[in-house]
Structure 1
Amino acid sequence: MPCKRHVSIEALGAGASGFVLKGDPPEQLIAAVRTVAAGDALLSPNVTRRVIAQFTRVAQPMPPKEFHDLTARELEIFQHIARGLSNVEIGLQLHTERQPSRPTSRISCRSLAFATAYN
């Protein structure tokens, strides 16, 4: 049976800056109100565990099918792009003076930011 999203996850998704539980000690509630009023965020330890569990269950995107059609060299360039290297830095890494090809043009990458998901 799939785990339901806890109300704390919903509240944070709606923009809450913190979430404490009614069973938390009064001192913790007071500290939480002060923390959030100062512009910071705060979660009860039990909520933190739930948030971590929720985000570790998030599925990673599958690479486009064309990703597997890249040559070894294009894949190497793609990995450098995904790490955020510039064309000049990639050229230095690959020991070449010419600009590297753009493997992102051969696959369904809408942007370089999209490419970073596959690093």
Structure 2
Amino acid sequence: MAAWIIEKFRAWSDCNCELDQKFGNDELLTNIMIYWVTNTIGSSAHRYFENTHSLPPLGQIDVPTGVALFPSDVLLPPKEWAEKNLNISRWTQMPRGGHFAAMEEPELLAEDIRAFYRQFRTKNK
């Protein structure tokens, strides 16, 4: 299991297969141990299997949606498809990062989330 998880970090991250560029050993071991101790690796992997084998049609989603695309992520949706199905109010092509964006590029991700929600703020008077 540890080898499989590490392989995913190598393949799905923007690290040129050099994990120590983006992740510390403690971070990786903690991630592995969460799956090990909670016995949840199967349920977490099942979602990827289902998404590649049986995605139902989305239908129109009207809730304002923000999309942050990290260039080394696993599957990057075409903008045309997203706009056809979602109410895109923010679309950001990130300069770097991958599937584990919150661990790889936390500042970029946090700033994009903040920018998305700024449009919904109102000033209290």
Is the TM value for this pair above 0.5?
A: no
TM-score by length of 2: 0.21
Identify which of structures 1 and 2 has the higher relative contact order when contacts are C-alpha pairs closer than 8 Å and 6+ apart: 2
TM-score normalised by length of structure 1:
0.22
